[in-house]
Homo-oligomer: A and B are copies of this chain.
Amino acid sequence: MLEIITIKDVKVKIGERCKALRKSNGLSRDELAEALDVSSTTIQNIENGKNATLDNILKVANHFGLLQSITKEIDKVIIDQNNISLY
């Protein structure tokens, strides 16, 4: 089963995750936007999978304490690359 994942797919997935994190923390878009010092339109764009800056994506991640995890996962992605399966 070959899953073709596109860049758009990843952006949409990141947006969904940001939205889920915001909801599970009981925040409105305005509240999160204010906490991150960005506009709520930017939050909206991120959540809808529009193109965004790495900085703002990481601001969201940081607000929910995910920077540490992300750092670890970046390292793991490299390891995965070295152990890639051809089948």
Contact = CB atoms under 8 A, between A and B. Distances in A.
A84 B71 CA distance: 15
Given A17-B78, A65-B84, A78-B17, A5 B52 contact: no
A20 B66 CA distance: 24
Contacts of A14: 54, 74
A11 interface: yes
List the number of copies, as a whole number. Answer: 2
Given A52-B53, A77-B73, A58 B10 contact: yes
Interface in A20-72: 20-21, 51-55, 57-59, 62, 64-71
Contacts of A73: 73, 76-77
The 9 closest A-B pairs by CB, nearest first: A73-B73, A7-B58, A69-B80, A51-B55, A5-B67, A69-B77, A52-B54, A5-B71, A51-B53
